[in-house]
Amino acid sequence: MLAFNFVSSPGAGKTSLLVRAVSDLKQSRPVAVIEGDQQTSNDAERIRATGVPAIQINTGKGCHLDAAMVGEAYGRLAPLRGGLLFIENVGNLVCPAAFDLGEACKIVVFSTTEGEDKPLKYPDMFAASALMLINKIDLAPVLDFDLAQTIEYARRVNPKIEVLTISAKTGEGFSAFYAWIRKQADKMRAGVLGAVQG
């Protein structure tokens, strides 16, 4: 099983992009989602509406997921052998960077409305992530969003971070994102990335 940990500030579009991604990816392999929020089951309900299983974790006063919470939630899912597990962390650009949930890698979702300087202000999250998905690219023209500046800042804190631009609203960039996921699955099979035994 290949697991990804999606991290971002609140509202960057993690659930929106997961709704689109699981709807497409469930055709070809088993997929499940673990959702983390302080309160509500809204995000798990949005995923379940696609027909994909989702477990909601509520952290209450807590501001991140930890491996024990994910282990407990994973135990409530049907076996996912050969499949994909998407973990949506609590919307928080700070401390989820410090917690390993057993994922192959972290994916930081950064949206065009947040301001180009966020990778410099919250460097740990960008340093901890293998991929930066720049979401809400459909809004870039009305925001005077500077894509090159954002990427330059992100690579200043993590020279190896990969970058893709997407729009969860229009679907732009998702085929490149799926190709990136396939590449990670190939790496896992080749033993370069850690697989979680399911």
Which residues lie near Mg ion (CB under 5 A)? 14-15, 43
By CB under 6 A, tell whether 131 contacts ligand GTP.
Answer: no
Q: Which of 38, 41, 63, 157 binds Zn ion (CB under 5 A)?
A: 63
Q: Which is nearer to ligand GTP, 158 or 167 (CB)?
A: 167
CA dist 137 and 125 (Å) reads 20
Confirm if 140 and 172 have CB atoms less than 8 A apart: no
88: phi then psi, degrees, rounded to nearest 5: -100, 115
Binding flag, residue 171, ligand GTP (CB under 6 A): no
Task: Say if CB 6 and CB 89 are below 8 A apart.
Answer: yes
Site stretch for Zn ion (CB under 5 A), options 37-45, 95-103, 133-141, 156-164: 95-103
Q: Which of 50, 56, 167, 184 binds ligand GTP (CB under 6 A)?
A: 167
147 lies in the binding site for Zn ion (CB under 5 A): no
Counting contacts by CB under 5 A, is residue 106 touching Zn ion?
Answer: no
105-115 burial: b if 16+ Cβ within 10 Å, else e? bbbbbbbbbbe
**Least separation in angstroms between CB 194 and Mg ion:** 25
Of 8 and 56, which has the nearer Cβ to ligand GTP?
8
Q: Which of 170, 186, 168 is nearest to 6 (CA)?
A: 168
Rounded CA separation 110/30 (Å) = 27
Q: Considering the complex, what minimum distance in angstroms separates the CB of residue 98 from Zn ion?
A: 8
Q: Closest-CB residue for ligand GTP?
A: 91
Q: Evaluate whether 112 touches 8 at the Cβ level (below 8 Å).
A: no
As a dihedral over the C-alpha atoms of residue 138, residue 143, residue 148, residue 151, rounded to 10 degrees, the angle is -80
Considering only 58, 66, 77, 95, the residue that binds Zn ion (CB under 5 A) is: 95
Select from 2, 13, 25, 52 the one that contacts ligand GTP (CB under 6 A).
13
Residues that bind ligand GTP (CB under 6 A): 8, 10-16, 37, 43, 91, 135-136, 138-139, 167-169
